């Protein structure tokens, strides 16, 4: 059994696998109403909700999302109202741990004089409190906590709100960057990404019939996934699914760093364009900085374009840890090249639906990109690669880069650039904390992930960016 | 016009695709047939088990190509098609 971080992910996976399996056999129409009963069978005890009927209702909604979700909702991320627990969100709250001490550091810390004492316990005047948190920091007992909904706390762009006490989460479609942090953080699994797993199966089948050549483009963060098998076995598994060829997105990353280093030294100031959630964040929240966003395609689209230029029968599917890539495939600049996007969770579901045992497969090599292309998967990798590309091209331009891990750091760097208070000339923007290895649809998030990516990078045949791109650029 | 695809898939890449590409480009330049040959890359021609690099001349797949065999392959497979 594959390992997941949480049971939410496991439930998502089980449903994806059922939907994919029925579709693969051509029986989804008949099976669709049976899936809730497969997940929560007759006679089962409820495991995460009041009753089995509620649980089956949630499964039904997740089945819809596995089949592509609400076509009228432009967002990739959707709230499942029946799954939302309408968590409390009282903000700064005094808990039972308050001991009614003499020092009253909380009251001293409060600049707005919100805190009074009743029955030897601190009491907060909610009409005046602005949830600054100074009292919580001051309390030596940690007796004051900030009650927030996990989804709202995870959304660093403030796109999630509740309309009233006891209402379900609401996503502001305009503000949302599609980073997917909320979907990973919701302990009830009430926020989920739309799936294009059925389109992926269509692609596999068309390839088997010889109608197309299906290419799977794998994100370099795959090196920190599928711990139970070797990466070359995963490659064989993907081919067994019906893909003509497996290509590293990291080779696209090598191409990106080559072009981006040129663009940076020409323009003098730049932000990266690899992370679609970051790009959308700049476009929606910092429109005046849009001009600085690199005009390069993302590594995914860059390599997909290259594949399509060389093979007119090609169709491309990207697999990664990312929800925002599902939005990127509809962007005008990527749409002609990228036909489908799935996640590692979805790939796991596809592999298991066909009963492929990865650990028993022979190995197929996966080696095109350089060390630098591969380390794009972790925060800081892109800046290192751009610096290396400048060096390799003997370009004297000096990079003063800032690598942003997560949207909170992106916000800070962008604010400083906007106000002219930054001496940085290159912003590497990663919407997920840690970079792509922190993506919402990674099977696991572990401390060793960044080290795994670096190790995978060092295994490359090509040691420099120029080496990795010399063959294909020469053909260009 | 001859379409010449050189496999740069992982397996061929490890066996030296880029060296074959460079040797082929050099030769095409020497022969003055740059305009007669559309040189492309291919990700996997499905002949991974063979030694050397796979290439495709129009619809014909040729396996086992190495940089020192490039000239022979050119003379035998490509030259007759373009008559040069």
Average pLDDT over residues A452-469: 92
Please name the residues in contact with A325: beta carbons below 8 A apart, sequence gap of 6 or more: A276, A298, A300, A318, A341
What CATH number matches the domain at A91-147, 3.40.50.2000, 2.60.40.2470, 3.40.1440.10, 3.30.70.20? 3.30.70.20
The percent of residues above 70 in pLDDT, for chain A, comes to 99
Contacts of B10 in chain A (CB under 8 A): 235, 246, 248, 364-368
The strand pair at A314-320 and A340-343 is best described as: parallel
| Fold match, A70-88+149-194 / A91-147 | yes
Q: Where are the domains of chain A?
A: 1-67, 70-88+149-194, 91-147, 197-475
CATH topology of domain A70-88+149-194: Alpha-Beta Plaits (3.30.70)
Say whether residue B82 is in contact with chain A using an 8 A CB cutoff: no
A368–B21 CB contact, under 8 Å: no
Q: How far apart are CA A449 and CA A224, in angstroms?
A: 5
CA proximity to A261, closest of A283, A291, A289, A294: A294
Q: Looking at the complex, does the CB of residue B43 fall below 8 Å from at least one CB of chain A?
A: yes
Whether residue B25 lies within 8 A of chain A, CB to CB, comes out as yes
CB contact under 8 Å between A461 and B13, yes or no, is yes
Among the partner-chain residues B8, B9, B11, the one whose CB lies closest to the CB of A472 is B8
In this predicted structure, the answer to whether residue A2 has a pLDDT above a threshold of 80 is no
Mean pLDDT of A157-178: 90
pLDDT band at A3 (very low <50, low <70, confident <90, very high): confident
Find the closest chain B residue to A363 by CA distance.
Answer: B11
Query: How many angstroms separate the CA atoms of A240 and A277, rounded?
Result: 32
- Decide if B41 and A366 are in contact by the 8 Å CB cutoff: no
Alpha helices in A317-406 (DSSP H): 324-328, 344-353, 371-374, 381-392
B58 pLDDT higher than 70:
yes
| pLDDT of res. A164 | 74
Cα distance between residue A191 and residue A168, in whole Å: 11
Residue range A197-475, CATH number: 3.40.950.10
Q: Report A:10-39 residues touching B (Cβ under 8 A).
A: none
DSSP-derived pairing of the beta strands A160-162 and A169-171? antiparallel
- Give me the pLDDT at residue B50, please: 86
Distance (Å, whole) CA A228 – CA A296: 36
If we measure between CA atoms, which residue out of A311, A309, A301 comes closest to residue A337? A301
Q: How far apart are CA A324 and CA B63, in angstroms?
A: 40
Token code pair at residue A374: 């591969």
pLDDT in tens, A300-330: 999 999 999 999 999 999 999 999 999 999 9
| HSE-CB of A256 using CA atoms within 13 angstroms | 34
CA distances from B55 to A66, A265, A426, A463, B17 (A): 40, 37, 41, 25, 9
For chain A, percent of residues with pLDDT exceeding 90: 91
Per-residue model confidence as pLDDT tens digits over A371-385: 999 999 999 999 999
**A311: contact with B, CB 8 A cutoff:** yes
How far away is chain A from the Cα of B25, in angstroms, using its nearest Cα?
A: 9
Domain borders along chain B are 2-82
Instruction: Enumerate the residues of chain B whose CB falls inside 8 A of the CB of residue A472.
Output: 8, 41
Question: Which of A180, A250, A247, A193 lies closest to A64, judged by CA?
Answer: A193
Does any CB of chain A come closer than 8 Å to the CB of residue B9?
yes
Greater model confidence, A214 or A162? A214
Query: If we measure between CA atoms, which residue out of A425, A428, A390 comes closest to residue A406?
Result: A428
Chain B interface includes A471 (CB < 8 A): yes
Lowest-confidence segment of A8-22, A50-64, A166-180, B42-56 by average pLDDT: B42-56
Q: What is the pLDDT, as a whole number, of residue A287?
A: 97
Euclidean distance between CA atoms B26 and B21, whole angstroms: 9
Q: Which residues of A touch B21 (CB under 8 A)?
A: 471, 474-475
Candidates A311, A367, A471; nearest CB to B18: A471
Integer Cα distance of A65 and A322 in angstroms: 16
B25–A470 C-beta distance less than 8 A: no
Closest CA to B49 of A346, A180, A126, A362: A362
- Is B18's Cβ below 8 Å from some Cβ in A? yes
Cα nearest neighbour of A245 on chain B: B44
Q: What is the number of other CB atoms lying within 10 angstroms of the CB of residue A387?
A: 19
List the structure tokens of A22: 């029925």
The answer to whether residues A444 and A4 touch, using CB atoms and an 8 Å cutoff, is: yes
User: What pLDDT, in 10s, does the model give residues A34-65?
Assistant: 999 999 999 999 998 999 999 999 999 999 99
Q: Which of residues 345-404 of A touch B (CB under 8 A)?
A: 364-368
A135 in Cβ contact with A92 (< 8 Å): yes
Q: Whole-angstrom Cα distance, residue B23 to residue A454? A: 32
B47 pLDDT higher than 90: no
The CA radius of gyration of chain A, in Å to the nearest whole number, is 24
Chain A contact for B10 (CB, 8 A cutoff): yes
- Using alpha carbons, select from A47, A49, A52, A22 the residue that is nearest to residue A35: A22
Q: Residue A314, by phi and psi: left (phi above 0), alpha (psi -120 to 50) or beta?
A: beta
Instruction: Give pLDDT tens digits for A400-449.
Output: 999 999 999 999 999 999 999 999 999 999 999 999 999 999 998 988 88
Q: Return mean pLDDT, chain A.
A: 94
Q: What is the largest CA-CA distance in chain B?
A: 34
The CATH number of the domain covering residues in B2-82? 3.40.30.10
Contact with chain A for residue B40, Cβ under 8 A: yes
């Amino acid at each position: 059994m594959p390992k997941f971080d949480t049971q939410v992910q496991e439930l998502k996976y089980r449903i994806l696998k059922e939907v994919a399996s029925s579709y693969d056999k051509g029986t989804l129409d008949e099976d669709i109403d049976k899936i809730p009963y497969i997940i929560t069978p007759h006679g089962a005890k409820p495991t995460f909700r009041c009753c089995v009927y509620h649980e089956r209702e949630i499964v039904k909604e997740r089945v819809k999302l596995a089949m592509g979700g609400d076509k009228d909702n432009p967002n990739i991320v959707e709230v499942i109202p029946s799954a939302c627990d309408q968590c409390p969100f009282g903000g700064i709250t005094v808990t039972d741990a308050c001991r009614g001490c003499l020092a009253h550091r909380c009251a001293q810390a409060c600049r707005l004089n919100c805190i009074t004492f009743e029955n030897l316990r601190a009491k907060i005047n909610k009409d005046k409190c602005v949830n600054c948190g100074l009292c919580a920091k001051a309390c030596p007992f940690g007796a004051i906590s900030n009650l927030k909904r996990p989804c709202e706390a995870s959304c660093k762009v403030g796109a999630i709100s509740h309309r009233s006490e006891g209402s379900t989460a609401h996503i502001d479609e305009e503000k949302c960057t599609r980073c997917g942090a909320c979907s990973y953080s919701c302990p009830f699994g009430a926020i989920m990404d739309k799936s294009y797993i059925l389109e992926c199966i269509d692609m596999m089948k068309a390839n088997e019939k010889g109608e197309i050549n299906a290419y799977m483009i794998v994100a370099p963060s795959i090196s920190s996934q599928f711990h139970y098998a070797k990466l070359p076995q995963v490659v064989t598994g993907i081919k067994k699914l019906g893909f003509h060829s497996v290509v590293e997105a990291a080779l696209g990353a090598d191409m990106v760093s080559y072009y981006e280093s040129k663009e940076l030294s020409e323009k003098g100031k730049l932000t990266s364009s690899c992370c679609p959630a970051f790009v959308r964040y700049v476009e929606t929240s910092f429109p005046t900085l849009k001009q600085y966003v690199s005009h390069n395609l993302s590594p995914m689209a860059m390599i997909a374009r290259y594949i399509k230029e060389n093979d007119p029968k090609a169709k491309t599917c990207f697999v990664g840890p990312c929800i925002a890539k599902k939005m990127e495939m509809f962007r005008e600049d990527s749409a002609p090249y990228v036909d489908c996007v799935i996640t590692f969770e979805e790939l796991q579901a596809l592999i298991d639906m066909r009963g492929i045992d990865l650990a028993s497969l022979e190995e197929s090599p996966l080696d095109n990109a350089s060390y630098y292309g591969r380390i794009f998967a972790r925060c800081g990798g892109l800046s290192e690669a751009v610096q290396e590309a400048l060096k390799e091209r003997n370009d004297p331009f000096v990079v003063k880069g800032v690598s942003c891990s997560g949207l909170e750091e992106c916000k800070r760097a962008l604010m400083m650039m906007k106000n002219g208070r930054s001496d940085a000339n290159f912003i590497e923007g990663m919407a997920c904390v840690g970079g792509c290895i922190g993506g919402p649809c990674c099977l696991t998030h572990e401390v060793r992930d960044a080290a795994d990516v670096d190790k995978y990078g060092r295994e490359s045949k090509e040691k420099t960016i120029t080496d990795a791109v010399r063959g294909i650029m020469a053909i260009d | 016009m001859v379409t010449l695809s050189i496999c740069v898939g992982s397996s061929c890449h490890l066996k030296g695709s880029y060296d074959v590409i460079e040797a082929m480009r050099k030769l095409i330049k020497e022969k003055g047939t740059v305009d007669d040959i559309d040189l492309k890359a291919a990700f996997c021609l499905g002949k991974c088990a063979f030694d050397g690099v796979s290439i495709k001349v129009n619809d014909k797949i040729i396996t086992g190509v190495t940089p020192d065999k490039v000239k022979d392959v050119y003379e035998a497979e490509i030259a007759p098609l373009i008559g040069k």
